[in-house]
Amino acid sequence: MTFSEIKKKDWPSYGVGDTSYQAAGGEAGIRKLVDDFYDAMDRLPGASKIRAMHPVDLAISRDKLARFLCGWLGGPSLYAERYGSINIPQAHRRFEIGSSERDAWLSCMAEALKNQPYAEEFKQYLLEQLYIPAERSRNKA
């Protein structure tokens, strides 16, 4: 199944207020997810192209993604506090991102989600929702 084919479900308990942020374990849980995500990017062969789009030292990349996800999941706006507002397509325009790069990014996230103590339905919900910013980053066919 491709990420484009993920079936949309009705997730009544997530996406309202800070429920998703809390389900992810707050900032600490999100930072662990992000660490596992970048670790997956380093080791998955299919992620080598997207890994090359990042600096060798991932400290700032890890911080930016964790802060973005905190706010995006309904928690505090930590990204804006540190880095200002973000426009996802504009932030990624210098990279050639097509469907395969989007799917590689989502595969790294799916791999990282395996290591999280989240409820299985939240893992599915989160991966489905992450398709949206991943797709917004795509700038080529």
* pLDDT per residue as tens, the chain (141 positions): 455 454 555 555 898 999 999 999 999 999 999 999 999 999 999 999 999 999 999 999 999 999 999 999 999 999 999 999 999 999 999 999 999 999 999 999 999 999 999 999 999 999 999 999 999 999 998
Number of H helices, E strands in the chain: 8, 0
Structure tokens at 98: 């097509």
Q: DSSP character for 54?
A: S
Predicted local distance difference test score (pLDDT) of residue 1: 43
Predicted local distance difference test score (pLDDT) of residue 10: 55
Structure tokens at 58: 């991932």
Q: DSSP character for 56?
A: S
Q: Let me know: does 31 contact 66? Beta carbons within 8 Å.
A: yes
Which H or E run includes 140?
none
Predicted local distance difference test score (pLDDT) of residue 13: 83
**How far is CA 84 from each of CA 43, 68, 111, rounded to the nearest angstrom?**
31, 11, 29
pTM for the model: 0.89
Alpha-carbon torsion (1, 73, 18, 35), positive or negative: positive
97, 94, 84: which is closest to 133 by C-alpha?
97
Q: DSSP character for 47?
A: G
